[in-house]
Structure formats: structure tokens, C-alpha cells
Amino acid sequence: MPSLRFLLLLLLPITLVVGILNTNLVAVLTTTFHVSAFHFSLIESSMAIGVIIGAVWFGPYLMKRLKANTLLISGTAVIGIWMALILPLDWIREETGIGAIYIWCTLIGGFNALINVPLSTLFLQVTPPDFRGRGSSLLGLTSSSAQMIGILFGGWIAKETGVLYGTALSGLLLILVAIILPFGKGYKNLSNSDHSKKRKEAAAL
């Protein structure tokens, strides 16, 4: 199943970077941005609010206007760019205050929907009903394994480059993934699957 293989391939760098982000974000907030305990808890809450808004409104809204595979690749690039912007965020924070950190963290949470929503949609489209249980297990195994590796790699890259630059470099990795993968055969299969699904829905109507 080339389309499912492509989803698993795309999931590897994404969840790897998620592991790096989870490792470095606390260190960035506490040691680089020197966020107080009070603001740290509120920033974590703002990120959770972003996740909820993205999943309930932002992601589904874009799914109505873009193909799922296009949104998946675009979302990967957007999150990569937003992570790379943590470098100027350090300067912006010094100029404007802690509000910039709240905005960055809220949006990094909201942008998760740009990947999670189309990924779930594509998984249902490309996986036959009798294989979805095993396919879901493969998806979960791939995600968990890559995230664990990302946590370890995040600690190493933070030691070598610092947590701020480690986060930005991870974002650049996602941008590179978003540029390269659309040229693969799996992306074309996803595109064909997306068109086929919409044709079936239109015929049903």
C-alpha cells in the first residue's frame, strides 16, 4: 500500500521533531526566556487552548477548502517555519514583552491541527476497512518510536547547539521534508486517493 507507506514515511520526521520540541520547549521557556513559574503554567495552558481551537475549528475549516494531502504538506511546512521563528522571537520578546511568547506557543499548538486533521482523513481514505486496525497499530508504533528517538535526539542537539538553535534547526528539517516529499510517488497516490474520495462523495450527492 504505497499511500500508507508514504504516510508512515512522513510521520517519521514529524514525530521526531515533536519529540525534539517537547524536549527543548521547557528548557527554552525557563532557561532562555526566563519565564516565571506563574507565566509558565499559563503558557502551557495557552498551547493547550491552541490545540483545541485548531482541532475544533481551524483544521476542519481548512479541510473544506484544501485537499487533505495539500494541507498535510502545507501544515508540515508552516510548523517548520514557525519553529524556526523562535530565533527572532528571542529578540521580539526583549522588545515587546512576554506576550510574544504567548502568541508563539498558542499558535504552535493550533498548527498541530494542520497535520493531525488531514493525517487522520488520509489514513481513513487510503486504508481498507479490514486493515484499519493493523494500519492504526503501525501508525501508532511509528509515531511513538520516532517521538522517543526525537526526545533523545533533542537532548543531544540541545547540548551541541543550545535549545534555541536546536528548536530552529528542527523546524528547518520539517521545511525540508515538506519540500522533498511532494516529489515522491506516495504523494501522487495520496492525491489520486483524495480525488477519488471526492468523486464518490459527489456521486452520492
In the structure grid, which three cell numbers stand for residue 89, read together? Answer: 522571537
Secondary structure letter of residue 133 according to DSSP: H
pLDDT at 201: 42
* Euclidean distance between CA atoms 86 and 80, whole angstroms: 10
Under a CB-based contact definition with an 8 Å cutoff, are residues 129 and 73 in contact?
no
The average pLDDT across 156-169 equals 84
Q: What is the pTM of this model?
A: 0.82
Burial 106-135 (b: 16+ CB within 10 A, else e): bbbbbbbbbbbbbbebbbebbbeeeeeeeb
Q: What's the rounded Cα separation, in Å, for the pair 146 and 38?
A: 32
Average pLDDT on 87-112 reads 90
d(CA 168, CA 162): 10
Helix 163-180 and helix 132-161, axial crossing angle in degrees, nearest 10:
140
Q: Could you read off the pLDDT of 10-51 as tens digits, one per residue?
A: 788 888 888 888 778 888 888 888 888 889 999 999 999 999
Q: How many CB atoms lie within 10 A of CB 178?
A: 22
Compare 90 and 189 and report the one with higher pLDDT: 90
Q: pLDDT tens, 61-91?
A: 888 888 888 888 888 899 999 999 999 998 8
Phi/psi region, residue 178 (left: phi>0; alpha: psi -120 to 50; beta: rest), is: alpha
Quick check: 195 pLDDT over 50? no
Q: How many other CB atoms sit within 10 Å of the CB of residue 63? A: 16
Beta carbons of 39 and 74 less than 8 angstroms apart: no
Residue 192's pLDDT is: 62
Give the dihedral sign, CA 68/69/74/79: positive
- The x, y and z cell numbers of residue 113, run together, are 491541527
Percentage of the chain lying above the pLDDT 90 cut? 15
How many angstroms separate the CA atoms of 16 and 87, rounded? 20
Output 8 or 192, whichever has higher pLDDT.
Answer: 8
Q: To which residue does cell 503558557 refer?
A: 43
For 178-192, what is the mean pLDDT?
74
